[in-house]
A and B are shown apart, each in its own frame.
Chain A
Amino acid sequence: MANSESRSRSRKKSEGGGGGSGIIIFLFVVLPASIFAAPTALLFIVGLIPTVVAAIIDRDPEKSAPLTVGPMNICGILPFTMEMWRHNHTLPTALHMLSDPLTWLVMYGAAAVGWIFYYMIPPMVTGFEVVRWQGRVETLRGKKIALIEEWGPEVTLDDEALIQQQQQAAAAMAQGARR
């Protein structure tokens, strides 16, 4: 219950702040970059399309898909960007790179690796967690047995059952005493 509440709260937060941060990013990062580093911006705008798609299709308020795909997608863009920075940082160079299918393959292939991460890692985490939980259950079972051995089965009773059991035991003892 508490978990779902916090989740919805974070969802609202991300929804509420999503528009604002986008505008800020656009005004202070994308717009200046488009003006002062148009070739790089062009490469990134085209190259980051998988990440943008991931952000659009991901219903998770935490936006884990773009967060997973994005870093790998950037890794796929970076070599071309760096190549451009090193030799000729111009729009024709950028367009030339974009005309090469290898560039597209590398950029979108890296994004695909991000998607692989996105789909493969959560089941692995689940499997790991299940094994951990089962271990914990066994430990608790051992503790429970030790408690019962030390304090008797009455340690498992709730208040009402304990009182009832004590009354029955007292009655049985009194009967035995009378005999």
Chain B
Amino acid sequence: MTGPAPSLDCVVTATGCVLKPRGCWSIDNLEQIDRLLGSTLVPHDIRVCIDASELSDLDSAGVMLVVNRLRAQGVVWSSLELVDFNTHQLDLIHLVAERLDARAQPRQRRRSLLPFLGRKAANWVAALVSQFVFFGRIVEGIVEVVRRPRLLRLREFTTQLEVVGLNALPIVMLMTFLIGVVFAFLLGIQVRKFGANIFIADGVSIAVARELAPLLTAILIAGRSGAAFTAQIGAMKVTEEIDAISTLGLSPVQVLVLPRLFAIIIAMPLLTFVGDVMGMVGASIVAYAQLDITYYTFFERVKSALSLETVVFGLAKSPVFAAAIALIACRNGFAVQRDARSVGEFTTSTVVQSLVAVILINALFAIAFPEIG
């Protein structure tokens, strides 16, 4: 589309100044045109005339440049004489000149520190407040459900239970099994040094039941279901489905949040228990292969080393993790704005926030109950 190269002649006589643009004055040659106009001095105190007889092509970008540069040199646009333009070009010139005339002040983009900090702080406070509002809604919803159990959406609840619990079973089993194997293998190397082979059962069972299985399950669920919750609710927000739910006289908290919250709270301890078992199964296989401890000996030892208290402690942590994940995920889902980028942003922050929350809660548990295990 690049036509003949543009050029510009400027003839100044006593009666006036004649500008003679030549060639293709279009967006492809804009840089050249800018240079041409910049190097031409147009006197602004005499009549200025533009002669288009040798102009081969003109588009709105070209017109814009002529208008802007001539104005910058002080030429009064309305006193300009336009010669030999065809009607389309004249239309175009008048349109562009008129639109650029009404141009407001050039936009300012300066950003200073104080307003930036202020805006950030205000956003933080607003986010905190909305957090509390959301938690308030959840509590309100739970109270309502407790009063009238009929309000719980059973179908949604069971669907979520299947998605969050049953469908996550294979991956949880695989991960905890592998962690059990690796942990037993490394621990086995250490205990063999002391000839304390049988203590592998103590070490693995306590570690898996108390820390590894609950934490690993929570991390998997945060990545798997937490992200899914945010994306689902966020996408529903984008397509105005949440507004539709409210308009039908239903509470979005009842319909969307509570089934997910209850499902994940119930599913997580169950998954954690399966994780406990799989971790120990993995460890027993390694113990047999590496240290020649029979399965019978291994589980007999686990029975005496692992107190019920430890197992219950691990299982009791997981509903708390679950609640934290569900609340963070649902809140982020509702916070999604109506554009495509925001779904991704909030899904990312769900995963990050829920992982941080899980690890923090785990630390609190460890500090609060150091005597267990």
Q: Is the A/B pair a real complex?
A: no
Chain A positions near chain B (C-beta within 8 angstroms):
none
